Amino acid sequence: MKKKIIWLLIGVCLITGCGNYREINDLAIVTSIAIDKTDDGKYELTYLIANSPKSQTSNKEGEATTTIYSGKGKTLNEATNIIDRKTPKSLYYGHINVVVISEDIAKDGFLKIADWLLRNPETRKQFYLLQAKDIHAKTILKIVEPLESFPSQSIASLIESNATFESLTSNIKYSPFIERILSKGFDPILPAVTIIGSEKKGSTEKNLEKTEPDTYLKLNDVAIFIKDKFVGYVGEKDSQAISVLNDSISEFKFTFKYHDHDVVYISNNIDTKVKIKDFNHISIKVKGAGYLSEVNGKIDIDKTDVVKKMEKKLEQKAEKDFKATLKKMQNEYHADVFGFGNKLYGLYPKKWDKIKDQWNNEYFPKLNVDIQTDFQIVSSGALNRTIGEVKK
């Protein structure tokens, strides 16, 4: 009897396993989506679609590897239906890796489009989210760059490299972004992308033929949200500080002055601890050990007392920058991008429920936050002395 049941289950799996099977050549594989708002308030969707080969042979020389389709509608579903009617193949959303939204969409509220992105069963909900700054979101998808075959992969690689090597808060995906929106006392952020150069030149294959492209994409700012609505941008220094205070940084690169000379410090093991002293008082301790990547000046870095003085200068400059970013969030944006409110909610749920509606505008700006740094210089690189010192 057991054998009959096993063979029955195998048969069912074999019959149903191909029920949703579709030939890849019959699919229009969507790799990126841009969402804009038109002047008359409609949604404009733009899909970047990977071209599949038309035969067993490779694509003809000069044939584009991607295609752009756009549609407008009062709803996102209406815009999607228009695109669907334009494409000769069935749209497939399982390989989306980037979604770009415009400032208008962000100001209107991300949750208005979040449901549409969530309900599609084919999307994996792990695509990167970006906000287009000073330009339409659809324009970002048109820029072709060297090093990657598809614009969508180029954007994804740009995000990953900035998050890993440039100390920027840029590695944001859909699910964590939504989770932060829905969390109590934790406001989200998004990386902002813009275009450097000519939009027209950047959308042609000729942009790939030059040693130095005429046009390229750049992540330079971070978009600040209160819940699901965009309120403003901050630059690279603030972005790095947010990453450090959130303990979400991969590599910490920091420039400080020592005797009027620029010194670059790099650490790969930054550790940030947040301690709740009471409902109105939070203490943050940032520790790290790293090395000197660059010393512009005649500094005798093989002396212990010199290194200690440099560590002090490093700590003072870092504390000043971190506190400046904190004050900007408290007084200018009223955005708790550090999740302090979320931590207080976990410890004082009843008290939080009483003040949650006033948190951003009244309580967060007045929150007393102490920031201390403890950075060690454990290596000065390949040289014990700078080139300037060696020449003496």
Distance from C-alpha of 7 to C-alpha of 199, rounded to nearest angstrom: 60
Q: Where in the chain is the domain with CATH 3.30.300.210?
A: 236-392
Give the pLDDT of residue 19. 45
Nearest to 340, CA basis, from 169, 123, 186: 186
**Which of helix, strand or coil describes residue 188?**
coil
pLDDT of residue 6: 41
pTM score, two decimals?
Answer: 0.84
What confidence score (pLDDT) does residue 157 get? 73
Average pLDDT score, the chain: 83
CA distance 379 to 384: 9
CB 361 within 8 A of CB 273: no
What three-state secondary structure class fits 226?
A: strand
- Residue 23's pLDDT band (cuts 50, 70, 90): low
pLDDT digits (tens, 9 = 90+) for 289-334: 999 999 988 888 889 999 999 999 999 999 999 999 999 999 999 9
Contact 134, 104 (CB under 8 A): no
pLDDT at 298: 84
The predicted-structure confidence for 205-240, as pLDDT tens digits, reads as follows 544 544 556 777 888 799 999 999 999 999 999 999
Position 155 scores a pLDDT of 76
CATH code reported for the domain at 236-392: 3.30.300.210
Which one, of 115, 121, 71, lies nearest residue 96 by Cα?
121
Residue 189 pLDDT > 90 = yes
Residue range 254-296, pLDDT digits in tens: 999 999 999 999 999 999 999 999 999 999 999 999 999 999 8
Q: What is the pLDDT of residues 10-20, one digit of tens each?
A: 444 444 444 44
**Distance of CA 268 to CAs 5, 51, 172, 196, 217, Å?**
56, 40, 20, 30, 26
Provide the H-helix boundaries in 32-172: 76-86, 103-108, 111-119, 137-140, 151-165
